[in-house]
Amino acid sequence: MLFRVLYDYGLQFSYGWVVLYWWVFGGVFLVFSVIIGFVYWLGSGKSQREFRIGFGLFLSLCLFFFGGLVDVLWFVFWDGGLPGNDVVWWWMPWASVFGFWNSTAQFSLLTVVFVVIMLFWIWILRS
């Protein structure tokens, strides 16, 4: 099991507790995404186009969660900037999948997610 010291308080990272945190955090994002999409559709004319826009809102929020936008925003606004590439983002699930994860990998994933979302919105608004 992987252990890391957190927050200089001697807390130990453990997949035993972080998996539950990831599921709860992901569940909150999912519920929030459903609510945003549904509220948009409910307040609209309820046409097929409004349904696609509501679904686009839902999917956009889910993809931003998948892309790790929250972590990037936390570092940029509260920690003074992204850590250097010598820092492994070990708390991200991608670190265990790929064997590494750093700021460049995270920013690259977020960029790909952003491009996918933009292309998706172009498709939604043109149809």
Residue 2 lies in a domain: no
**Does any domain span residue 5?**
no
- The answer to whether residue 3 sits within a structural domain is no
Give the range of the structural domain holding residue 85, as residue numbers without chain letter: 12-126
3-state secondary structure the chain: CCCCEECCCCEECCHHHHHHHHHHHHHHHHHHHHHHHHHHHHHCCCCHHHHHHHHHHHHHHHHHHHCCHHHHHHHHHHCCCCCCCCCCCCCCHHHHHHCCCCHHHHHHHHHHHHHHHHHHHHHHHHC
Q: What pTM, to 2 d.p., does this model score?
A: 0.76
Structural domains of the chain, count: 1
Looking at the domain assignment, is residue 65 inside a domain? yes
Output the pLDDT for position 106.
Answer: 93
Q: Which of 39-43, 88-92, 98-102, 121-125 has the lowest mean pLDDT?
A: 88-92
